[in-house]
C-alpha cells in the first residue's frame, strides 16, 4: 500500500474529543493504611472506655474491656464476610438485602446515633487528657492550683467540631497517610508504655489483680434495680458488665467503609488489615487498660484519673517524674490526634451514610443540596455538626453520661448488620463469598453459620440487657431512632418518583470529565512500565474487564479502559455508526469492577467515527502491549479481529513495527491474534 492511498484512507477516520474520566475512589491503599484509618476511630476508644466502665462496674472493669476486645475478633470476621459480598458495604445495603428496607432504616438511624455521639465523646475526652497533663505540670511545679476538666473539655470539643465542620464544608478529605503516621506514633508510645509498665510490675510490691466480679451502682443497674431476681442471675451480671464495656467496640464498622479502597489482592489484604486491627486493639485498648488497673491505685482511678486513665498510667510508673511527664505528654499527644481524628471521622461517616440514603432516593433533594462554592453536601454536614454541638452542651462535659447513650448505637447497629449477614446465608445461599465466617455446618444445600449465629445471639443479649440497665441510652436511642425513621419515611414518600427513577436506573457514580487536547496529553499521567488497553462498550457486560483484573498479578501494569463514543451523523461508506450508550452507567460499572478487585484503572472516552481505528490509535499512543475487547453485537469475533488488524495495518504503514497481541473475550472462549 503506497502512502497516498493510506493518507486518503486515514483521512476518513476521525478522533474528535478526548475525555479522561476520574473519580476519587480509583486510588487504592495498602492493608496497613486501611488498618490505620480504622484504628484512628476504633483505637481512640482506649482513651475513655476504661474510665466509663470503671464508673459503671467498679474495679473489675479491665477484665470486661479485655473480653470485649477479644470479642472484636469474631465481629471483624463477620464484617469480612459482609465485605466479600458487598464491595461498597456499609450498614444500609447489607441490612436491606438481609432484613428489608424498614430494618435498614432503623439500622441506619442506630449507626447515625453512634456517629453523632462519637464526635462529642472523642472531643471531650481529648480535652480531659489535655487538662490532666496541665494539672500534672502544675503539680510538678508545686503550684497548688488545679484546673477543672469539664469546662475546658466542652470548649475544646466545640472548637474541634467547628474546625472539622469547616474542613468538611470545604471538602478536604481525611488522608490515609495522615492516619498511618498517627498510628505509627501511637504504636511507638504504646510499646514504650507496655515495656515500662512490665518493669514497674516487677519493681512494685503492692500489685493486686483486679477482682472479676463486677460491682454495680444504682445508675449502672438502671431499671434492673427494680427487678430483684435479675440481680441474682450470674450470667445477667456478666452481660451487664460487658454491656457497660461494649462502647470500646465503636469504630470497628469503619472496616466496611474502607474496604472498597483496599488494593489488590482485596480479600487477602482485608485479612491482613483485620489482623492488625485486632492485635492493636487487643494490646492498645485491652492491654493498656489492664495495666492501668494493675498499677494505678483504685482510689486514684475513681477520682484523679477518672477521665484520663492512660495519662494516670504514665504518672504511676516507676522512675523519675520528669520522664513520666514526657511519657504523659506523648500519650496526650497521641490521644489528642486520635480523638480529634475520630471527630472528623464521625462527621465524614455520618455524611457518607446520609449521602448513601440520598443516592437510593430515600432522602429528598434538600439533604443532597450542593454547596455553591465547594460542591459538598453542606446541609447534611451542618445538621450533623449542630447536633453534635447540642450533645456536647447538653452533656456538660460528662463522659459517663454520653458513654451510657453511646453503647445503644454501637450495639443495635451490630444487631441489625450481623443478623443480616446470617440471614443472607439462607436468603442468598448461591451468592459468591470470597470469605466465610468460620465454624459452619453443611446441611442439605445450606452452609449453616454456627459461628455467626453464636455471635448474633451474644450481641442480641447484650443489646437487650442494655435496654434494661441503661435508661439514658434506651430513652435517647429509641427516641433518636424513631425520629430519623420518621424523617426517612416522610422523605421517601415526598421523593417517591425520584426514588423510583434511581431504582430503575441504578447507582450512578459522580465522575470528573477532564478534556484533553491530544491523546499524548491525556495519557501523560500513565507511569507504569506495562500497559493494557481494554475496550468497553456495553454497561451490562463487564466480562472482558472482569477477566483482565481477576488475572492481573502485576502491580507494574496500567489498565486503560476505553470507550469509543460514536460521532453523530457520520457514515463510513454505506454503514452508519452504532448508537452511543449511557457512558455514565458504563463508567460507573467500570469503577465498581475496579473497586471489586482493588486494581487502579484509567478510564478514557474518545469520540470517533471508526471504533477499530480509535482503539488502534489509543493503543499505539499508550504503547500498550495488549488490546482486549468483548464480542460485539454487530460483528462476530473473527470479523472484529479482521477490522482491528486492518485498522492497525493502516496506522502502522511505513512506521516501525510495534509488537501487539489482541484478544477478544467472552465467557468460556477467546480469540487472539499477534501482530
Q: What gap in Å lies between CA 35 and CA 279, rounded to an integer?
A: 11
Question: What cell does 450 get?
Answer: 454456627
Cβ–Cβ < 8 Å for 449, 422:
yes
Do 582 and 601 lie in one domain? The reply is yes
Give just the sign of the alpha carbon dihedral 612, 617, 622, 624: positive
Do 19 and 33 lie in one domain? The reply is no
Residue 457 lies in a domain: no
Residue 444 lies in a domain: no
Tell me which residue range forms the domain holding 522. Answer: 5-23+510-674
The set of long-range contacts for 487-496, using a CB threshold of 8 Å and a minimum separation of 24, is 488/105, 488/108, 488/109, 488/357, 488/362, 488/363, 489/105, 491/362, 491/363, 491/364, 491/367, 492/361, 492/362, 492/363, 494/364, 495/361, 495/362, 495/363, 495/364, 495/365
Do 287 and 419 lie in one domain? The reply is yes
Do 12 and 33 lie in one domain? The reply is no
Do 185 and 93 lie in one domain? The reply is yes
Residue 68 lies in a domain: yes
Residue 607: predicted pLDDT = 81
pTM (2 decimals)?
Answer: 0.81
Among 317, 293, 282, 289, residue whose Cα is nearest residue 209: 293
Residue 75: predicted pLDDT = 94
CATH number at residue 220: 1.20.1740.10
Do 377 and 270 lie in one domain? The reply is yes
Q: What gap in Å lies between CA 26 and CA 525, rounded to an integer?
A: 14
Residue 474 lies in a domain: no
Q: What gap in Å lies between CA 598 and CA 559, rounded to an integer?
A: 12
Residue 514 lies in a domain: yes
- The torsion angles phi and psi of 416, rounded to 5 degrees, stand at -65, -45
Cβ–Cβ < 8 Å for 367, 379:
yes
Do 214 and 348 lie in one domain? The reply is yes
Do 17 and 36 lie in one domain? The reply is no
Residue 4: predicted pLDDT = 43
| Other beta carbons less than 10 A from residue 619's beta carbon | 26
Residue 566 lies in a domain: yes
Residue segments in the chain with a per-residue pLDDT below the cut of 50: 1-11, 22-25, 504, 570, 572-574, 576
Question: For the chain, percent helix, then strand, then coil, each to nearest 5?
Answer: 65, 10, 25
Residue 78: predicted pLDDT = 92
CATH number at residue 587: 3.40.50.620
Do 80 and 214 lie in one domain? The reply is yes
CA angle 503, 505, 506 (to 5 degrees): 65
Q: What gap in Å lies between CA 358 and CA 495, rounded to an integer?
A: 10
Q: Please report how many Cα atoms fall inside a 13 Å half-sphere around the Cα of residue 78, on the Cβ side.
A: 30
pLDDT tens string 282-297: 988 888 999 988 888 8
Do 561 and 422 lie in one domain? The reply is no
Residue 185 lies in a domain: yes
Residue 169 lies in a domain: yes
Total count of domains within the chain: 2
Question: What cell does 37 get?
Answer: 484509618
Do 594 and 620 lie in one domain? The reply is yes
Do 19 and 35 lie in one domain? The reply is no
Amino acid at each position: 500500500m503506497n502512502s497516498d492511498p493510506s493518507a486518503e484512507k486515514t483521512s476518513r477516520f476521525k478522533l474528535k474529543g478526548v475525555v479522561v474520566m476520574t473519580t476519587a475512589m480509583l486510588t487504592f491503599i495498602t492493608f496497613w493504611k486501611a488498618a490505620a484509618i480504622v484504628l484512628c476511630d476504633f483505637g481512640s476508644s482506649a482513651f475513655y472506655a476504661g474510665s466509663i466502665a470503671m464508673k459503671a462496674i467498679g474495679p473489675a472493669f479491665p477484665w470486661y474491656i479485655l473480653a470485649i476486645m477479644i470479642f472484636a475478633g469474631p465481629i471483624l470476621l463477620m464484617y469480612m464476610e459482609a465485605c466479600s459480598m458487598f464491595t461498597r458495604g456499609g450498614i444500609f445495603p447489607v441490612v436491606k438485602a438481609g432484613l428489608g428496607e424498614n430494618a435498614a432504616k432503623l439500622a441506619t438511624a442506630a449507626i447515625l446515633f453512634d456517629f453523632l455521639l462519637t464526635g462529642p465523646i472523642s472531643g471531650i475526652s481529648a480535652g480531659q487528657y489535655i487538662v490532666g497533663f496541665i494539672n500534672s505540670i502544675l503539680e510538678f511545679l508545686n503550684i497548688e492550683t488545679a484546673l477543672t476538666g469539664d469546662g475546658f473539655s466542652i470548649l475544646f470539643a466545640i472548637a474541634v467540631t467547628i474546625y472539622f465542620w469547616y474542613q468538611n464544608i470545604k471538602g478536604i478529605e481525611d488522608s490515609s497517610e495522615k492516619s498511618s503516621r498517627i498510628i505509627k506514633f501511637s504504636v511507638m508510645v504504646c510499646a514504650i508504655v507496655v515495656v515500662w509498665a512490665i518493669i514497674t510490675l516487677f519493681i512494685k510490691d503492692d500489685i493486686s489483680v483486679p477482682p472479676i466480679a463486677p460491682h454495680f451502682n444504682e445508675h449502672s443497674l438502671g431499671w434492673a434495680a427494680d427487678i430483684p431476681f435479675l440481680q441474682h442471675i450470674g450470667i445477667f451480671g456478666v452481660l451487664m458488665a460487658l454491656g457497660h464495656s461494649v462502647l470500646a467496640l465503636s469504630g470497628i464498622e469503619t472496616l466496611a467503609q474502607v474496604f472498597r479502597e483496599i488494593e489488590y489482592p482485596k480479600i487477602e489484604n482485608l485479612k491482613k488489615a483485620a489482623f492488625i486491627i485486632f492485635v492493636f486493639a487487643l494490646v492498645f485498648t485491652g492491654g493498656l487498660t489492664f495495666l492501668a488497673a494493675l498499677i494505678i491505685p483504685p482510689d486514684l482511678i475513681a477520682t484523679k484519673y477518672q477521665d484520663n486513665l492512660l495519662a494516670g498510667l504514665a504518672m504511676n510508673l516507676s522512675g523519675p517524674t520528669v520522664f513520666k511527664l514526657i511519657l504523659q505528654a506523648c500519650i496526650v499527644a497521641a490521644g489528642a490526634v486520635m480523638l480529634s481524628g475520630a471527630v472528623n471521622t464521625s462527621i465524614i461517616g455520618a455524611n457518607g451514610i446520609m449521602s448513601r440514603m440520598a443516592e437510593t432516593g430515600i432522602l429528598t433533594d434538600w439533604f443532597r443540596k450542593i454547596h455553591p462554592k465547594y460542591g459538598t453536601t453542606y446541609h447534611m454536614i451542618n445538621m450533623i455538626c449542630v447536633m453534635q454541638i447540642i450533645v456536647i452542651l447538653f452533656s456538660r462535659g460528662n463522659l459517663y453520661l454520653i458513654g451510657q447513650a453511646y453503647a445503644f448505637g454501637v450495639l443495635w447497629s451490630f444487631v441489625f448488620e450481623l443478623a443480616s449477614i446470617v440471614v443472607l446465608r439462607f436468603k442468598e445461599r448461591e451468592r459468591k463469598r470470597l470469605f466465610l465466617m468460620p465454624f459452619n455446618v453443611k446441611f442439605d444445600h445450606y452452609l449453616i453459620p454456627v459461628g455467626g449465629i453464636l455471635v448474633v445471639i451474644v450481641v442480641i443479649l447484650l443489646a437487650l440487657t442494655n435496654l434494661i440497665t441503661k435508661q439514658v441510652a434506651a430513652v435517647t436511642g429509641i427516641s433518636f431512632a424513631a425520629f430519623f425513621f420518621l424523617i426517612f419515611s416522610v422523605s421517601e414518600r415526598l421523593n417517591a418518583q425520584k426514588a423510583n427513577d434511581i431504582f430503575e436506573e441504578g447507582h450512578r457514580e459522580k465522575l470528573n470529565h477532564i478534556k484533553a487536547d491530544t491523546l499524548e496529553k491525556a495519557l501523560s499521567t500513565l507511569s507504569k512500565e506495562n500497559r493494557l488497553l481494554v475496550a468497553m462498550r456495553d454497561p451490562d457486560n463487564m466480562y472482558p474487564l472482569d477477566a483482565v483484573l481477576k488475572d492481573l498479578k502485576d502491580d507494574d501494569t496500567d489498565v486503560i479502559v476505553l470507550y469509543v463514543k460514536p460521532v453523530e451523523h457520520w457514515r463510513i461508506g454505506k454503514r452508519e455508526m452504532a448508537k452511543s450508550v449511557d457512558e455514565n452507567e458504563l463508567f460507573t460499572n467500570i469503577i465498581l469492577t475496579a473497586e471489586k478487585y482493588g486494581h487502579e484503572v484509567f478510564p478514557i472516552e474518545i469520540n470517533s467515527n471508526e471504533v477499530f481505528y480509535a482503539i488502534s490509535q489509543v493503543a499505539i499512543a499508550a504503547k500498550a502491549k495488549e488490546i482486549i475487547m468483548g464480542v460485539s453485537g454487530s460483528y462476530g469475533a473473527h470479523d472484529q479481529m479482521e477490522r482491528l488488524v486492518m485498522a492497525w495495518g493502516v496506522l502502522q504503514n511505513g512506521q516501525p513495527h510495534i509488537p501487539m497481541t489482541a484478544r477478544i473475550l467472552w465467557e468460556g472462549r477467546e480469540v487472539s491474534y499477534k501482530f
